[in-house]
Amino acid sequence: MNAPHPTAALRAQLYQDMDPLNLTPLWEVLHALVPPQPATPCVPALWRYQDVRPFLMRAGESITADEAVRRVLILENPALRGQSAITQSLYAGLQLILPGEVAPSHRHTQSALRFVVEGSGAYTAVDGERATMQPGDFIITPSRAWHDHGHEGAAPVVWLDGLDIPMVRFLDAGFAENASTKSQAVSRAQGTSYARFGHNMAPVRHDAPFGATSPLFSYPYARSREALEHLERDAPGDAWDGIKLRYVNPLTGGSPMPTMSTFMQKLPAGFSGKPWRQTDGAVYSVAEGHGEIAIEGGGQSLRFDFSPRDHFVIPSWHTARLSSKRGCVLFSYSDRPVHQALGIHREERLP
């Protein structure tokens, strides 16, 4: 057996001697730190609602909304188990509230979105105003805003929670606070924020109530669906996205939240989309219909058939292609605003 090359021995001794000083050589890790293209550890995954729902109902029998504070089953990326993350920057979970329950009021640094998956009659209260939750509605709870949930209907309500928890955790910037009462006092009539900001108008004199977050915290599905149908009927669809719209902050035209973009799209019947990839990982909730998503990346090539209320994730820089024989409507969110703010967002629309 040949003796080690002198240079290798010198390097090994160097590494050993400097280790107590918490030093490490860049040249040993450079290619991992600065890869030729994104190399996310996340993997594509799909959660079928018919498989998840029984566990949500069992959770409803096992713990009250008051005890749990938020009765949620987290959608964990299979490659990130134990990290409460669906991508390295985003969190997703399905929350259940039962008739008569209140999920108590609290606030936190993390921005949150709700996309209603099943049921009606529940509400979200933000800063003294309630919004009744209907299937397909997109609702925001802004960073540092008091919020609680209640249910005055007759059947279970489930919604998708999307938060920037991993991002805030990475930055070590999270704060949280519980309110002294379970439900905040209602100080404004329902629909006030929509009347002020939801008609391409705004009060003449006002401050942005939630800073960089949209002052319009409830985006009803009926209006979003109407816009998609109108465009499907009267405007050409996109070869990659079908008919896709982004939700906006009406004061700025930017994303509703500073850390997350949200989208709604309709794939017409017979749609067979072209492939694309982007640096922002995206989480999808199927609002209506059936379709298929094909995803390639990380040495994998997967296809998922999806149905109403299913959820799936497309990791960063994975090539994806959507199709639908009968047509469908999809809600999605991603961390695109952060990519754009940092000037690192990249998207490729492939032939």
The residue type found at 151 is H
Can you give the pLDDT of all 351 residues of the chain as single tens digits? 566 677 888 999 999 999 999 999 999 999 999 999 999 999 999 999 999 999 999 999 999 999 999 999 999 999 999 999 999 999 999 999 999 999 999 999 999 999 999 999 999 999 999 999 999 999 999 999 999 999 999 999 999 999 999 999 999 999 999 999 999 899 999 999 999 999 988 889 888 888 899 999 999 999 999 999 999 999 999 999 999 999 999 999 999 999 999 999 999 999 999 999 999 999 999 999 999 999 999 999 999 999 999 999 999 999 999 999 999 999 999 999 999 999 999 999 999
What is the distance between the alpha carbons of residues 312 and 317, in angstroms, rounded to a whole number?
15
Q: Which residues have CB under 8 Å from 324's CB, separation 6+?
A: 267, 268, 269, 270, 271, 289, 290, 291, 292
pLDDT at 78: 98
Dihedral of alpha carbons 220, 225, 226, 231, sign: positive
Element of type H or E holding 57: helix 49-62
Instruction: Tell me the Cα Rg of the chain.
Output: 23
In the prediction, which pLDDT does 202 show? 87
Q: Please give the backbone phi and psi of residue 262, each rounded to the nearest 5 degrees, phi first.
A: -130, 145
* Strands 138-141, 112-118: pairing kind: antiparallel
- Contact 47/312 with Cβ under 8 angstroms? yes
CA separation for the pair 287, 264 (Å, rounded): 9
Nearest to 290 by CA among 276, 270, 273: 270
Backbone angles phi, psi at 103, to 5 degrees: -90, 115
Q: Rounding to the nearest 10 degrees, give the CA dihedral for residues 95, 99, 100, 106.
A: 10
Residues 6+ apart with CB under 8 A from 160: 92, 93, 94, 95, 113, 114, 115, 116, 117, 285, 311, 331
CB 293 within 8 A of CB 320: yes
Domains recognised in the chain with CATH numbers: 39-349 (2.60.120.10)
| Contacts made by residues 20-25, CB under 8 angstroms, sequence distance 24+ | none
One-letter-per-residue 3-state SS of 158-198: EEEEEECHHHHHHCCCCCEEECCCCCCCCCECCCHHHHHHC
